[in-house]
A and B are shown apart, each in its own frame.
Chain A
Amino acid sequence: MSSETRRIAGIISTVIFAVIVVIGFTLAPTTEADRVVAIGNRIMCPVCQGESISTSPSETARAMLDVVADKVAAGESDEEIITYFVASYGEAILLDPPFAGKTLVVWLLPIPIVILGAWMAVSRLHRSVPIPDPTRERERAGPITGGER
């Protein structure tokens, strides 16, 4: 087995492994407890700094997570539960800024930046493409270097 084949086999097996892991995670059955944690991950703990109610050990966060659990058990949808917290705390209670209004800019700004970056990278790569033919280069360089090589 050549080193090239081994390399390709390695890449393929890594990709297959990654695909299996991703599929496994996405197809795994979500329990009510998973949903409570997932919803809690979107809600900021109001008495902490930048921490979700799922991760904060504070009494307020625990109490809010209890409310989430009660509402999940009562059959409310994720969005209904989020809306309930936004109704009393305002949008500041969401860890992710909403994809609307003033905070739309933080979602959309990266897109032109990435495009700009990609364009700059591509234009740099393009610039180094016309590498002169080495033989021709030696011919042309001849008069300067004096043909020592």
Chain B
Amino acid sequence: MSTVDESVTDVDEQPRTPLDPHQQRSARLIRWFIGVFFVVVIGFGAIFASRFGIDPSLVQSPLLGKPAPTFEAPYLEKEGVLKSETLTGQIVVLNFWASWCVACRAEHDDLVRASRAYEDKGVVFIGVDFQDTRKDAIAFLDEMVRAYDNVVDDGSRVAIEYGVYGIPETFFIDADGIVQAKIVGESSFYLLSQTLDAMLRGETPQSSLDGYVQSPPGS
């Protein structure tokens, strides 16, 4: 239909003009559309290219600078319950771990070394056993070294309070109960001592938020 229409117009009214106003307009529209299309495609391409390779689990830690959530959790290897309020006044290093976590195994010796090095500087280390069985956790500690108390995180309540995405995650809480720093993923003696030294000097330590964390098996 439109071909007939256009050929008629061409022949009858504007034999010399290659494009009538309608065609010119649609050609302009098509060029414009192609332009917008490419801008959008390139824009999205740039966004994706810059975001790929960034693990979505690497998130800001909203707890930094905020009061640490309080908790009560039963000890893993002794009777009784740890009430987090009783730790106020000391620097607390709270390490979430599990026997099934590869990086936890790798970082354990460094945690033990750091806990011994800072023992008499008012720093207390607490391990929080996350989504684990008591038997496996104790077997893990039998295989490794024991240096500080561990608690069991029943129902993952402590991990949820602290916004744990995967383990290991290590939180540094100052004497006033404020979360000062966080290490996401495998920590090292260097990272731990740097953070603790900064806190002992009264400075705000740097957090290490780009480490790899492991999700529980089956999730």
Contacts and interface: CB of A to CB of B under 8 A. Distances in A.
B59 A60 contact: no
A107 to B, nearest CB: 16
B2 interface: yes
Interface centre among B57, B69, B160 (most CB of A within 10 A): B160
B219 A48 contact: yes
A47 B166 contact: yes
A90 B164 CA distance: 11
A144 interface: yes
B4 A141 contact: yes
Given A48-B215, A59-B218, A116-B36, 7 more contacts: A46-B166, A60-B156, A64-B160, A87-B66, A127-B22, A141-B8, A144-B11
Contacts, number: 90
Interface string A114-129: 0010001001000110
Contacts of A132: 5, 8
A60 B131 contact: yes
Contacts of B162: 88
Interface string B204-219: 0000000000011011
Interface centre among A47, A61, A63 (most CB of B within 10 A): A47
A93 B156 CA distance: 16
Interface residues of A, number: 33
B63 interface: yes
B194 interface: no
B53 interface: no
B202 interface: no
Contacts of B25: 127
Nearest to A49: B56
Contacts of A116: 36
A33 interface: no
Contacts of A48: 215, 219
B219 A144 contact: no
A47 B165 contact: yes
A92 B8 contact: no
A88 B162 CA distance: 6
B219 A88 contact: no
A99 interface: no
Please name the 4 residue pairs, one residue from A and one from B, whose CB atoms are nearest each other, closest first.
A58-B219, A88-B163, A63-B156, A89-B163
Interface centre among B7, B22, B60, B215 (most CB of A within 10 A): B215
Interface string B140-170: 0000000000000001110111111110000
A49 B8 CA distance: 60
B104 to A, nearest CB: 15
Given A48-B219, A59-B131, A63-B155, A90 B163 contact: yes
7 contacts: A45-B219, A56-B219, A59-B219, A90-B60, A127-B22, A127-B26, A140-B8
Contact of B160 (A63, A90, A128, A137): A63
Interface in A130-149: 131-132, 137, 140-141, 144
Contacts of B26: 127
B60 A60 contact: no
